[in-house]
Chains A and B, each alone.
Chain A
Amino acid sequence: MKALSINNLSKTYGNGFKALEQISLDVEQGDFFALLGPNGAGKSTTIGVVTSLITKTSGTVNVFDTDLDENAELAKSYIGLVPQEFNFNGFEQVKHILITQAGYYGMPASDAEPRANELLKQLGLWEKRHTPSRALSGGMKRRLMIARALVHKPKLLILDEPTAGVDIELRRSMWTFLRRINKEGTTIILTTHYLEEAENLCRNIAIIDKGEIVENTDMKSLLNRLDKETFVLDLKYPLLQTIELYGLDYHHVDDTTIEVELSRGDSLNSIFELLSKHGVEVVSMKNKVNRLEELFLNLVETTEQAS
């Protein structure tokens, strides 16, 4: 079953800005899905439409086979949202925020109280349960937003840049927590600027740019496309002529720097052997930025050129 199915979704804002143009996207139940894109690409608009915070211009959204237009109540009950910005009442106590949110989803107080306690303990907020939310640290506020999104036991958790501005230690502990709830059955959709985060956590990925999906595949296939790695070699002496490196692609960056592309699985020794044969001495070598970041930039640049 699809946890989320978006078809031909478009959104044009009142000022004429087209934030989304006919995007379609499927997320399977149980998936850990990344939605990536540069600033202003349409990630938050997509999430806004799915969570009813933004009115769409056209298209359909189905959550666990429930059309958001036809049965909004049921569709909304499946979703938990962790928004990008803090959005709770700063004067309300932490525990009240959770119990109130549970109530909005029709959860009786007898169930909401133990559920709130459980989440407060799991997310390290138990000691702060009677504290007004405005007095929490930034990291605690992030965790409170996760707790609030989970209090009604949603089947689909959507996190809009949940680790923005969070220190490394907290980010890692949030990853562990999210992996666990995903393993327990919650489908997770994540938008992030940290590509390392998407690579570490997510099984499937969509890349959105200028309101269009430019890539939608599984993380493994995407990364496998990086069957070539590029190494930057600094040479001791200028290399002024073209040399034959027998099957290896290379190009000059400047007189003393070349970039060599190596297929995955090829030995690095082959580079040095071939270069030695031509009397070329290598002073240092580094791996050019690669993996998801490189793919991401390639995809985004491609769409820029196309437009």
Chain B
Amino acid sequence: MNQTRRQRHWIAFSTLVTREIRRFFRIWPQTILPPAITMTLYFIIFGNLIGSRIGEMGGFSYMEYIVPGIIMMAVINNAYSNVASSFFSAKFQNHIEELIVAPIPNYLILAGYVAGGTARGLCVGVIVTLVSLFFTHLPIEHIAITISMVILSAILFALGGFINAIYARSFDEISLVPTFILTPLTYLGGVFYSISLLPEFWQNVSLLNPILYMVNAFRFGMLGVSDIPVVAAFSIILLFIVLLTSFALYLLNKGTGLRN
């Protein structure tokens, strides 16, 4: 081995990311196709059929208003479930041992899985965005905010999926969080409505939901409207990323769920 440590790390990291991307493309009928179909149904039912009767929201047609939220919902769900299922499968089939015995630092293992989850989240996000163009015009007011927010959100939920997979002891346990926490928070996170429609009490309760910040900041990037200050959204997401990264690394270094 004549390469420098940094070169070896880069090769190891890119190998892991490549393997993760190859995995979700290999099983595309399970990973890429279903979210595209589900989100298309959202556009048809909520955007077209119901939305035409709702009228405007935040100064935009209802279809335009919900598109950023639906894209974000697809990104979050797929980033999360990719890492959760891939890392748990690696544990379940014991091929996580390939990584544990190899000279890869734990932070690179985490980075590799998170990058893989982010890649799937973004891939599905692009597909849903393209599908949305069949239904509505999509302005992008602030491209930097749009792109950075979608990437940061994908990273954050990929980290969440990783921690879920570390603790999970069965496949049921990796679907518990998406079913009972992620989905309700997403639906209550302002994907389909502006929180200004809610009574004041519920507006304040909604502010405790981190997904609200992501959806609104992303919507601000695309449409230029948001229920919350964008700076607060970025700050909260960055804070959560730091917290979850630290916690995931702590679990990896401790060997929780991985080593006896």
Contacts and interface: CB of A to CB of B under 8 A. Distances in A.
B103 A55 contact: no
Interface of A: 13-14, 48, 51-55, 72-74, 76-77, 79, 81, 83, 85-92, 96, 100-101, 103-108, 148
A55 B16 contact: no
Nearest to A104: B102
Contacts of A88: 93, 95, 98
A107 B7 CA distance: 9
B203 interface: no
Contact of B260 (A48, A79, A81, A106): A48
Nearest to B104: A104
A101 B255 CA distance: 21
B209 to A, nearest CB: 36
B11 A103 contact: yes
Given A51-B101, A77-B1, A104 B12 contact: yes
A103 B104 CA distance: 10
Contacts of B19: 92, 96, 100
B98 A108 contact: no
Given A51-B101, A53-B259, A72-B103, A100 B15 contact: yes
A153 to B, nearest CB: 9
A289 to B, nearest CB: 36
A87 B98 contact: yes
B3 A108 contact: yes
Contact of B12 (A48, A53, A79, A103): A103
Contact of B101 (A79, A89, A90, A91): A79
A103 B101 contact: no
Nearest to A88: B95
A77 B16 CA distance: 17
Minimum-distance CB pairs A-B, first 6: A106-B8, A103-B15, A87-B94, A104-B102, A73-B103, A76-B103
B95 A106 contact: no
28 contacts: A51-B100, A52-B101, A53-B100, A53-B101, A53-B260, A55-B255, A55-B260, A72-B103, A74-B103, A76-B101, A77-B103, A79-B101, A83-B97, A87-B98, A89-B90, A89-B95, A91-B26, A100-B15, A101-B98, A101-B102, A104-B99, A104-B103, A105-B1, A106-B3, A106-B7, A106-B9, A106-B11, A108-B11
Nearest to A78: B103
Contacts of A13: 260
A92 B25 CA distance: 12
A278 B83 CA distance: 82
Q: Which of A54, A83, A105 has the most CB of B within 10 A?
A: A105
Dominant secondary structure of chain B at its interface with chain A: helix
A136 B135 CA distance: 48
A85 B14 CA distance: 27
B97 A104 contact: no
Contacts of B260: 13-14, 48, 53-55
A103 B102 CA distance: 10
A81 B12 contact: no
B166 to A, nearest CB: 15
Contact of B94 (A81, A85, A106): A85
Which size bracket describes the interface of B in this complex?
A: 20 to 34
Given A13-B260, A91-B26, 7 more contacts: A52-B100, A55-B255, A74-B103, A87-B97, A89-B89, A106-B7, A107-B1
A73 B97 contact: no
B12 A105 contact: yes
A53 B106 CA distance: 13
Interface string B11-36: 11011101100110011000000000
Contacts of B229: none
B105 interface: yes
Contacts of B95: 87-89
Nearest to A108: B11
B255 to A, nearest CB: 6
A87 B255 CA distance: 18
Nearest to A91: B26
A100 B26 CA distance: 16
A80 to B, nearest CB: 9
B16 A104 contact: yes
Contacts of B23: 91
B108 to A, nearest CB: 10
Contact of A89 (B1, B11, B93, B100): B93
A83 B5 CA distance: 27
Interface string B108-143: 000000000000000000000000000000000000
Nearest to A14: B260
A54 B260 CA distance: 5
A91 B1 CA distance: 30
Contacts of A48: 260
A91 B7 CA distance: 29
Q: Which of B7, B12, B90, B97 has the most CB of A within 10 A?
A: B97
Contacts of A54: 259-260
A99 to B, nearest CB: 8
Contacts of B102: 76, 101, 104-105
